[in-house]
Amino acid sequence: MKNRTIIITGAGMGLGYAAAKELASKGANLALVDYNEESLSKVKAELNESFPESKIITVVADVSNEEAVKNYVNQTVKAFGKIDGLYNNAGIEGKQASIIDYDINVFKKVIDINLMGVYYGLRYVIPVMQEHGFGRIVNVASVGGIRGVLNQMPYVASKHAVSGMTKNAALEYGKDGILTNAIAPGAILTPMVAEAFKQVNPDDPKAAETEYAQRNPTRRLGQPQEVAKLVSFLLSEDNGYVSGQTIAIDGGESNIY
């Protein structure tokens, strides 16, 4: 990944942070984007220390804000002159509630971040990739982008949309050397998933986690570094011909009937 420039949204923790570590370890130059300035600074300091050969900028941005997305794209081009990869990862789960009880404002927020945030990223990064005739994009869907998930309707709607947008981006820009895929993680142990277990069982989130893991064919949750390895492959030149796919990384769980 030397001399490659990759943008990672939601880089402050969880899957984005794990990918930042993986890509920095391979020598990529990174633009780390998050709306949490404090966690971004911590990640940058840690990576600078561990991987000094990787050049890193941070841009504070809410991906649901179109102007903020234009700004992270401009800042990246200013710093590195090009964009080779986009890890369109920032997303939120929203609250868990049935369809008829769901808070409409939370519903709209989930759509704004998970769907529009991914769209704005595609809209403003693709023209830069077109100029250079090369690009690799990984959008983050979810197993909830393949199947329904009880009490998470806006999340499921937004992640199905991510999968759909991935197919369209692959169709429209493959001719420009741009390959676009989505990943569909199952339960990967990040702060977001830890929060979900708290909602399921506020008194004993660890019990909720253990019970959930038992449903998985591997009897465990996934680790962020495992997802980072897949993402690193999809963002690299080693991926020459995979495009338009939503690739599950879930220990096989989405195959259970």
Catalytic residue among 119, 124, 155, 173: 155
CB 43 within 8 A of CB 37: no
Question: Number of C-alpha atoms within 13 angstroms, CB side, residue 84?
Answer: 17
Any idea what DSSP says for residue 189? -
In this structure, what token pair is assigned to residue 207? Answer: 């019990």
User: Which residues in this chain contact ligand NAD in the complex, by CB under 6 A?
Assistant: 9-10, 12-16, 34-36, 39, 62-64, 89-92, 113, 117, 140, 142, 185, 187-188, 190-193
The answer to whether 173 is a known catalytic residue is no
DSSP 89-142: ----------GGG--HHHHHHHIIIIIIHHHHHHHHHHHHHHHHT-EEEEEE--
Q: How far is the CB of 10 from ligand NAD (least distance, A)?
A: 3
Nearer to ligand NAD, 191 or 252 (CB): 191
Residue located via tokens 């990787």? 54
Nearer to ligand NAD, 105 or 175 (CB): 105
Distance, in Å, from the CA atom of 46 to the CA atom of 78, rounded to the nearest integer, reads 23
Q: What angle do CA 63, 178, 127 make, to 5 degrees?
A: 55
Nearer to ligand NAD, 158 or 243 (CB): 158
Nearer to ligand NAD, 34 or 84 (CB): 34
Nearer to ligand NAD, 91 or 154 (CB): 91
Q: How far is the CB of 153 from ligand NAD (least distance, A)?
A: 14
Q: What angle do CA 91, 93, 98 make, to 5 degrees?
A: 150
Distance, in Å, from the CA atom of 40 to the CA atom of 59, rounded to the nearest integer, reads 8
Measured CA to CA in angstroms, residue 17 lies from 78, 216, 227 at distances of: 23, 24, 11
User: What are the residue numbers of the active site?
Assistant: 155
